[in-house]
Amino acid sequence: MTNIERHTYDVVVIGAGGAGLRAAIEARLAGKKTAIISKSLFGKAHTVMAEGGAAAAMGNVNPRDNWQVHFRDTMRGGKFLNNFRMAELHAKEAPDRIWELETYGALFDRTKDGRISQRNFGGHEYPRLAHVGDRTGLELIRTLQQKIVSLQQEDFAEHGDYEARIRVFQECTITELFVEDGAVSGAFGYYRESGDFVLFESAAIVLATGGVGKSYKVTSNSWEYTGDGHALALRTGATLINMEFLQFHPTGMVWPPSVKGILVTESVRGDGGVLRNTEGKRFMFDYVPDVFRKQYADTEEEADRWYSDPDNNRRPPELLPRDEVARAINSEVKAGRGTKAGGVLLDIASRLPAEQIRKRLPSMYHQFKELADVDITKQPMEVGPTCHYVMGGVEVDADTTAASVAGLFAAGEVSGGMHGSNRLGGNSLSDLLVFGKRAGEHAAAHADRIGRRRPSAAAVDAAVETALAPLARADAGENPYVLHHDLQEIMGVLVGIIRRDGELRESITRLAELKERVKKVGVSGGRRYNPGWHLALDLRNMIIVSECTAKAALERTESRGGHTREDFPKMDPKWRKVNLVCSLDGEDVRLEHKPLPVMRPELQGLFDQSELAKYMTDEEL
């Protein structure tokens, strides 16, 4: 019989990025015995890599900012496909979540009069991103971890045990969730180092597992982001929405090849950086779409004046939402005006004094110096689109973050709806604080109602068998690294930034073949630190999530946000009313059309009727 370490918790949080930590803090504050599980080392998550900042309408730099403007910007950025209630809660609650971080010990950069400083970012009408240089995520994670330690110290004082009510299980990957009688009963996984199995019995599980970028080769995402939470949710019977919408961040490094995809923060453009093609042209002026024409400058002079006088000038087009900038770069490179390595030039050197560049963008300075031998205070950076963020995710109730399966909650990047078809920069860090808190609160309330649950022995045996299968096949099976390479090839080439009917159909056929091959994946060696085995188990998740993306991308015959169809280049108001919902039918992904919730009239009233007319059908208006 296989040995399994067993634990019982009121609330189990899977993921130790910002969403997971904030959820765990809230569950623990509600008095619940809470586990935090992290595939990576504690403290290593995408949240820690976030550079630019967290968007919150505090109005510290421009007093005209408020939640209504933030709500408007978020809906515009998402091309009105957002779950309006999530966008509303996010805009209203983000400032409180940032101020609360200060009470946990966060030290944001300050304005001259001592308030939290806020910087410009694409799609945000006013300077709105609270930041710490270009290392904001590090401060956010540091502070949340510090809060957890302080709660553990309280528990020690009360119970003589630091881990009495909140415990971290790091380098522990969850591979299975259990659902019995329609409700969650626990989670199963393994420790990466020892390969030992572990079982968590619980009636309330919060998914906070982040993104899916590792299905693509050129990505800003690191190794953990294999869509585990998305796939776990699907396998429990929950649904995913908006999976066709992937954000290709416009500025990833393109050279040298070994670092291709690593993020170049949008703060470079927020702080004055401009994009040029190899002919020296500042090309973004040619790519302002009609829906944004009123808000963006049409001359370089006006765009440059905006940095010092934003009230009387319109914004530079380099600060359009990310989907617009990524498509523009893609077009320039395709038209032969890109660099040899397939990028364009991002110039901050001629726009700010060297000292300010080093002060405001220290990580970027070091990143380019060390990885590309480029001094960004003297030379332009070579940049191009990189797969960065998934807008799609677990379909949740806006207020409670509850998924459709009882006891399952989701927050942060793994959840869907908040960002519609395209996320604005800075809106993720605030999203995960706002909805992380809500997830912890509602998971705790659920645990109060249901008490504890325990998965059946048969379900646990099945999870063990699935986990061991690749090792049983050993060298006789398919090589996981080859399969991963093939998956990245399919997704990058056929389901990339620009999509076409024929290629999407081909991707679905090839993903189906790959799915069969993944079932035969084999790994030699044992369970003790065996990265091939880990990848073999991750592949099952990546393949199913990729199938959702490909099928939804084929179904949506329009272009919107992070989904561009060459054969349907326009936004279609009929599609604005539709969420594509993915669920599992046996092993296959099934798609359904579901109407989007209708925005309340007082929220619609925040927009000009003429603006809404660009997005909505006559019937909706």
Residue closer to ligand FAD by CB (options 411, 554) is 411
* Cβ atoms of 222 and 424 closer than 8 Å: no
Name which position in 9, 12, 13, 18 contacts ligand FAD (CB under 6 A).
18
Positions 198 through 257 that interact with ligand FAD (CB under 6 A) = 208-210, 220-221, 224, 228
Q: Using omega within 30 degrees of 0 as the cis cutoff, is the peptide bond preceding 289 cis?
A: no
Report in angstroms how near the CB of residue 432 gets to ligand FAD at its nearest.
Answer: 5
Is 19 among the annotated ligand-binding positions? yes
Angle at 430 between CA 394 and CA 176, to 5 degrees: 30
Closest CA to 71 of 22, 120, 128: 128
Is 41 among the annotated ligand-binding positions? yes
Positions 247 through 306 that interact with ligand FAD (CB under 6 A) = 263
Name which position in 26, 28, 47, 205 contacts ligand FAD (CB under 6 A).
47
Identify the bridge partners of residue 35 per DSSP, sorted by sequence position. Answer: 12, 167
Identify the bridge partners of residue 387 per DSSP, sorted by sequence position. Answer: 219, 248
513 Cβ contact partners less than 8 Å away, ≥ 6 residues apart: none
Contact map string, positions 71 to 110, toward ligand FAD, x by CB under 6 A = ----------------------------------------
Name which position in 28, 33, 39, 135 contacts ligand FAD (CB under 6 A).
39
Q: Using omega within 30 degrees of 0 as the cis cutoff, is the peptide bond preceding 256 cis?
A: yes
Is 586 among the annotated ligand-binding positions? no
Listed ranges 35-43, 151-159, 237-245, 279-287: which one lies at the site for ligand FAD (CB under 6 A): 35-43
Residue 413 binds ligand FAD, judged by CB under 6 A: yes
Could you confirm whether 590 is annotated as catalytic? no
- Catalytic, out of 22, 167, 322, 565: 322
Is 340 among the annotated ligand-binding positions? no
Contact map string, positions 155 to 174, toward ligand FAD, x by CB under 6 A = ------------------xx
| Distance from C-alpha of 519 to C-alpha of 530, rounded to nearest angstrom | 19
Place of tokens 């080769």: 217
Positions 124 through 153 that interact with ligand FAD (CB under 6 A) = 136-137
* Cβ atoms of 254 and 383 closer than 8 Å: yes
3-state secondary structure of 262: coil
Query: Strands, DSSP E only, in 450-523?
Result: 498-499
3-state secondary structure of 83: coil
Tokens encoding 229: 């939470």
| Distance from C-alpha of 347 to C-alpha of 349, rounded to nearest angstrom | 6
| Distance from C-alpha of 121 to C-alpha of 226, rounded to nearest angstrom | 28
Listed ranges 310-318, 326-334, 407-415, 561-569: which one lies at the site for ligand FAD (CB under 6 A): 407-415
Listed ranges 85-93, 276-284, 421-429, 504-512: which one lies at the site for ligand FAD (CB under 6 A): 421-429
* Cβ atoms of 2 and 464 closer than 8 Å: yes
**Regarding beta strands 498-499 and 564-565, do their DSSP bridges make them parallel or antiparallel, or are they unpaired?**
parallel
Tokens encoding 119: 């910087």
Is 48 among the annotated ligand-binding positions? yes
Is 187 among the annotated ligand-binding positions? no
Residues lying near ligand FAD in the complex (CB under 6 A) are found at 14-20, 37-40, 45-47, 49-54, 136-137, 173-174, 208-210, 220-221, 224, 228, 263, 389, 412-414, 425-429, 432
Q: Which residues are documented as binding site for FAD?
A: 15-20, 38-53, 228, 388, 413, 428-429
Q: Pick out the residues of the known binding site.
A: 15-20, 38-53, 228, 249, 265, 388, 413, 423, 428-429
Binding-site residue numbers for substrate are 249, 265, 423
Active-site residues, by number, are 322
